[in-house]
Chain A
Amino acid sequence: MTAISQAQKESTGQVQPRRQRRELSDRAILNLFIWPTLILLIAWNLFPLIYSLFLSFTDYSAIANKAPTWVGFQNYADILSDPQMWKYFATTGRYALVTVGMQTILGFSLAVLVQEKFKGSGLVTTLILVPMMLSPVVVGMFWKLMYNPSFGYFNFLLGFRNPSTAPEMLAGRFAGQPVPNLALWAVALVDIWMWTPFVMLLVLSGLKAIPDYLYEAAVIDRASSWFQFWRITVPQVMPLLMIAILFRTIEAFKSFDLVMGLTGGGPGDQTELIAVNLYRQAFLGQWRTGRASALAYIILIVIIAISNLYIRYLNQAKED
């Protein structure tokens, strides 16, 4: 009681300004934390999001000195009826399927291997994680060098010494003959190399969270290692694995930097993923801002739809 009245007297009486600042109300602190973040979010996220939604219904071009004119759903209709666009979507889907599939299988296997403690297992784990920590542009640069048909490591390790009979991975040719999708798989390989550690990391944390006593119970229940793996390990890791897959799928649909660094979409349109095409329409020579905005929204909707499937699965797994 006395302490409180003392404090009241001090705060209502003659108070030094320094003391006043220290006694900010909860509300003021709240505002101090929230508003800067909120303003940044509005300026950099919310406004562009809404403005691009508006632009997607116009024929606006960022370099034309012309106000946007409303064209309704014209851009969306154009994109969805353009067979070329469907081809890019198909390419992206194939790319996502292969990269995420391989990353899941390899990431899981690596996690199971690394989970066992052996001499230097910490170092090995760290080394495996290195690709993930590199900048995609750097990765693109040096894989371009590795793939080089004349002096790259890739062909050397595969045993091809003569450039004229060797695969040219990024050009999609083998011994001078074009091979369909070879460049796409070349890019996919780099993506798998770079992001398998990410899946491994999440699966590893899932594996480490499985309590030993479950395996002890399983041993007592006379379950074989194989039975234990499928009935205990896999279901226990599943929620984290699904999160890894969700992240990788979203990233695969947005794949841009690696592809630009390696092939720029070529040869022809072999590696023209949807995000690369979006960039081309928005900026490279075309500057069709309105149409590109519409495409961006279509991609967004596709990604949200896929994410929802995963999230629904995750919630279901959590519920029961």
Chain B
Amino acid sequence: MATIELRDVEKIFGDNHAVKPMNLTIKDGEFICLLGPSGCGKTTTLRMISGLEAVTSGTILLDGRNVTWRHPSDRDIAFVFQLYALYPHMTVRDNISFPLRAEGMKREEIDIRIGEVVDILRIHHLLKYKPGKLSGGDQQRVALARALVRRPSAFLMDEPLGALDAELRETMRAEIKALHHAQNATTVYVTHDQIEAMALSDRIVVMSAAEVQQVGTPAEVYYEPANLFVARFIGSPGMNLIDGQLDGDLIRFPGNDSTMAVPAHFRVPLLAALDKGDDVVVGFRPEAAAISDDSTMAGEVYAVDMHGGYKLLHVNLGTATDPVIVHLRADRLASHPMGSSLRFTADPAMLRFFDPKTGRAISPSETAPVQTQPVEVTA
């Protein structure tokens, strides 16, 4: 069990800033996901924590111990690779026992340890096979077993489910979650799949363009995105973001007679951050929309997606030549034919406002600010 702390950790490849100075404290037993699009530096960050990649500058502490320049084998961490990285010429048993044999453990003890992890992951029947004979899911179970058998103080996982098909991913995701609950070991998990990150993590570190965008619980990054990137990136589809203008207690939308009332808890912060007539970006999730004829927002139905349990409406707030599309969630039985006009409003509690000049969210006055946890993110 361990805490992991990154202080101003940075990586530069040639002219390329792979990870900009990053600060992050991971608590003992916490499950952290590094989430971001490809090339955002999340895997590089993980590899720096493991020691497979050297930092350009900064400090890495494991359990308070400075390991920045320690060899990966001195860090007492296990790493699960995306492509499993099993030893192809060894049986599953030899693969799992490899780290134990490498440290010269006695045979009897190795057998006991293997018995334990094999029970946890239910792979008893696979021990005598070579990895090439196993399915992707089983290979990843073996890779997890190899990581578990050492009883490391922390687990690092680099898109461990990335190579599996959708159905298996879901099964394995549940298994990893169950495993974490049972072991309660500090885990850093890299993924580009937000569903995975939402489902697994205690906290999510959203990364983009080599920078941390937001650190927060899954609910925080979903409902209170710190900036426009997070608002767009999290959720499928992402948050609706509409350009508007601040006019006292109202937001007006150019080229449209729709208006939106500024919720009470945003009045003071909005006026503090912006002047009257300034541009502001209004954000709300598709499920925050309420469709009713006496609402203040008007648009035309552009497309309708049936999602089974609900319908997702694509509504055009602009004109045919200059469309502004928002996504609204509607009842699966409601009829909204394409081309029909529609009025809706958004739940004031779920409205968010962003300053278009900085891209950052404007915090409401009554609710607590987004970052209350002892995590400090500088970019």
A residues touching B (Cβ–Cβ < 8 Å)?
211, 213-214, 216-224, 227, 231-232, 235-236, 320
Enumerate chain A residues within 8 angstroms of B50, measured Cβ to Cβ. 220
Contact A220 B98 (CB under 8 A): no
Distance of B123 from chain A, by nearest CB (Å): 18
- Known A213-B81, A213-B83: A222·B99 in contact at CB below 8 Å: yes
Q: Given A222-B73, A320-B130: A217 and B87 within 8 A (CB)? A: yes
Contact in complex: B130, A221 (CB < 8 Å): no
**B residues in contact (CB < 8 Å) with A:** 50, 52, 71-73, 77-79, 81, 83, 85-90, 98-99, 101-103, 130, 146, 150
A320 proximity list for chain B (CB < 8 A): 130
Query: Which residues of A lie under 8 Å from residue B83 when comparing CB positions?
Result: 213
The CA of A218 and the CA of B150, in the complex, are separated in Å by 13
Return the contact of A220 from the options B73, B87, B90 (Cβ within 8 A).
B73
Main secondary structure of the interface of B (DSSP, over half): loop
Closest partner residue, chain A, to B76 (CB atom): A222
A236 neighbours in B (Cβ, 8 Å): 88-89
For A235, give the chain B residue with the smallest CB separation: B89
Chain B nearest CB, measured from A208 CB (Å): 16
On whether the beta carbons of B102 and A223 are closer than 8 Å, the reply is yes
Are A221 and B89 closer than 8 Å at their CB atoms? Answer: no
Interface pair B81/A221, CB less than 8 Å apart: no
Residues of B within 8 A of A219 (CB): 52, 71-73
Q: Complex: how many Å from CA A219 to CA B71?
A: 8
A217 and B77 alpha carbons, distance in the complex (Å)? 11
Tell me the smallest distance from the CB of B51 to a CB of chain A, in Å.
8
| Residue in B52, B71, B88, B150 whose CB lies within 8 Å of A221 | B150
Chain B residues within 8 Å of A232, by CB: 87
B residues less than 8 Å from A213 (CB atoms): 81, 83, 85
B98 adjacent to A231 (CB under 8 Å): yes
A and B contact pairs by CB, cutoff 8 A, 18 listed: A213-B83, A214-B85, A216-B85, A217-B79, A217-B87, A218-B102, A219-B71, A220-B50, A220-B72, A220-B79, A221-B73, A221-B98, A221-B146, A222-B150, A223-B73, A227-B102, A235-B89, A236-B88
Known: A213-B85, A214-B87, A235-B89. A220 touches B77 (CB 8 A): yes
**Residue among A211, A224, A235 making CB contact with B102, cutoff 8 Å:** A224
Q: How far is the CB of B48 from chain A (nearest CB, A)?
A: 13
A222:B103 contact, CB within 8 angstroms:
yes
Q: Which residue of B lies closest to A228 (CB)?
A: B102
Residues of A within 8 A of B150 (CB): 221-222
User: Nearest 8 A-B pairs (CB), nearest first?
Assistant: A221-B99, A223-B102, A222-B73, A217-B85, A213-B85, A220-B79, A235-B89, A219-B72
- CB-CB under 8 A from A214, the residues of chain B are 85, 87
CA gap between A141 and B358 in the complex, in Å: 80
* Chain B residue at minimum C-beta to C-beta distance from A223: B102
Within the assembled complex, what's the spacing in Å between the Cα atoms of A110 and B78? 33
Which residue of A216, A224, A231, A235 contacts B81 across the interface (Cβ within 8 Å)? A216
> Which residue of chain A has the shortest Cβ distance to B146 in the bound complex?
A221
Chain A contacts of B85 at CB under 8 A?
211, 213-214, 216-217
Nearest-CB residue, chain A, relative to B86: A217
Measured between beta carbons, the chain A residues less than 8 angstroms from B52 are: 216, 219-220
A220 to B49, CA, bound (A): 12
Residue of A nearest to B71 (CB): A219
| Chain B residues positioned under 8 Å from A231 (CB to CB) | 87, 90, 98, 101
